Amino acid sequence: MRSLNPACKFLSLLAVTMILASIRDPFWNLSAFAISMLLILASGVKPKTLLLLLVPVFLAAIGMFFTGYRFTAESAMPVRPDAFLIAGNSHIMNGITQLSRVLAYAGIGYLFALTTDRIIMVRSFQKQLHLPQVFAYGLLAAWGIFPHMALEYRRTKAAFRARGIKVFPISPSLLAPLLVKSVRWSEELSIAMESKGFSAKAERTDAMPIQIHKRDVAFTVLCCLILPATAILTH
């Protein structure tokens, strides 16, 4: 998965997501989730990392299960607490369908995110999807700022604490300095990029041209044609 062209991978997985959205069958959703997990693990992602990442997904999936379980088409409204445990097959099926959708979408999302190098992704999007270079490299530069943002957040919080002032995690007085700093950082960063010759309009050479190989075409065909055809035929 890591060696696939990111633009092809992105379009293929997007197509799979769209197809799954049109099929209301938990088998296909759960299969997509299971295949995604296997491919992620086969790409060298540590099982512990993956499990940690899946914790919020499982929570959301359980939430969606109960939502689907309770709010089927034939459910009475308004919802009564005493009716909550009355369950038929359709309730459970609806719950599993909702749950499996969360798992499928999250699995596919993680499959892309965890098996794609961000630099190669931006280069590929720029070359194959014609993403404007000012947007592509701006995105990469902004990415570099995120770790600083987390540290600055803790620094600002510590500054308030040192003065005996209690602040809530997202209080405006805490976020205002961060906002000021992020504007200042982006200005400094854009000046630094310009001083290194970066321009939105100028022609650039490419140190690592990202090509489309046979395996990329095969993966795209598999995702965009074979999988949907099988799903439609067996549905």
Partner 1 sequence: MGMILLDRLRFSYSEGLKPVLDGLSCSFDSSGITVLTGASGCGKSTLLYIAAGLYPENAGSLLEGRVLLEGRDLSELAPPERCRLAGMMFQNPELQFCMDTVRNELLFCMENIAVPKEEMEERLHHALSFCGIEELEQRTLLSLSGGEKQKAALACLVAIDPKWLLLDEPFANIDDDSARAIASAIGRLHREKGVGVLAVDHRLDNWIGIADSICVMEDGKILEERLDASHLEAERLESRGIIAPGGSYSPSLEPLEAGETVLELEELTVRRGHQLILNGISASFRRGMIYAIIGESGAGKSTLFGTLSGIFPYEGKAILEGRNMKHLRRSDIGRIGFITQNPQDQFVGGTVREEILASLRREAEAESKSEEILRSIKLWRYRDVSPYLLSQGQQRRLGTAALIAYDCHCLICDEPTYAQDRRNTMAIMDSLCRQAREKRIALIFSTHDRQLARDYADMILGIKEGKLYEIPESSL
For partner 1, the binding residues (CB under 8 A) are 118-119, 137, 140-141, 143-144, 147-148, 151-152, 154-156, 158-165, 173, 176-177, 180-181, 185, 187-199, 201-209
Q: Residue 46 or 163: which CB sits closer to partner 1?
A: 163
Q: Counting runs of H as helices and runs of E as strands, what totals does the chain give?
A: 9, 0
CB nearer partner 1, residue 135 or residue 143: 143
Q: Is residue 198 classed exposed, middle or buried when 0-12, 13-18 and 19+ CB atoms within 10 A define those classes?
A: middle
| Rounded Cα distance, 217 and 12, in Å | 10
Residue nearer to partner 1 on the CB measure, 148 or 215: 148
* Closest approach of partner 1 to the CB of residue 39, in Å: 24
* Shortest reach from residue 208's CB to partner 1, in Å: 7
Q: Which is nearer to partner 1, 24 or 181 (CB)?
A: 181
Q: How far is the CB of 113 from partner 1 (least distance, A)?
A: 15
The 10 Å Cβ neighbour count of residue 201 is 7
Residues whose CB falls within 8 Å of the CB of residue 163, separated by 6 or more in sequence, listed in order:
none
Minimum CB–partner distance for residue 31 and partner 1 (Å): 34
Rounded CA gap, 138 and 192, in Å? 12
Bond prior to 78 in cis (omega within 30° of 0)? yes
**Closer residue to partner 1, CB minimum distance, 63 or 187:** 187
Least CB distance from residue 109 to partner 1, whole Å? 21
110: which residues sit within 8 A by CB, 6+ positions away?
36, 40, 50, 53, 54
